[in-house]
């Protein structure tokens, strides 16, 4: 029986569906036809399996060091701005 005739006989509007079921039956057996196969396949990663993700300690330490360096840089720049403003004010008063 052809795929088109089988689809028409069983009232299935898409003959490729019958071809897919036939392939599943021959490759995996009749039990495989009972499995739900709609939608995209899920990719199981460590997050979805229930395992807690491992943190990269070196990355965290590097980020913390960078944050600390940037904070120190901001403090130095604030002090420099304050000093230059004081110098400008002192020059204006002496004029």
In this prediction, the residues of the chain whose per-residue pLDDT falls under 50 are: 46
Domain ranges across the chain: 1-37, 54-95
* Residue among 28, 19, 26, 32 at smallest CA distance from 6: 19
The whole-number pLDDT of residue 50 equals 60
How far does CA 64 lie from the centroid of its chain? Answer: 23
The whole-number pLDDT of residue 39 equals 75
Distance CA 15, CA 3 (A): 6
Distance CA 33, CA 28 (A): 8
Distance CA 9, CA 16 (A): 14
Distance CA 66, CA 78 (A): 18
* pTM for this prediction: 0.39
Distances (CA, A) of 53 to 31, 42, 56, 60: 35, 18, 9, 14
CB atoms within 10 A of CB 67: 10
The whole-number pLDDT of residue 53 equals 64
């Amino acid at each position: 029986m052809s795929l088109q005739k089988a689809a028409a006989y069983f009232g299935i509007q898409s003959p490729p569906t019958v071809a897919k079921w036939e392939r599943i039956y021959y490759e995996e057996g009749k039990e495989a036809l009972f499995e739900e196969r709609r939608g995209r396949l899920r990719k199981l990663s460590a997050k979805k399996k229930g395992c807690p993700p491992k943190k990269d300690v070196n990355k965290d330490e590097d980020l913390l060091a960078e944050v600390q360096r940037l904070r120190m840089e901001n403090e130095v720049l604030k002090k420099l701005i304050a000093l230059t403003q004081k110098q400008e004010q002192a020059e204006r008063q002496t004029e």
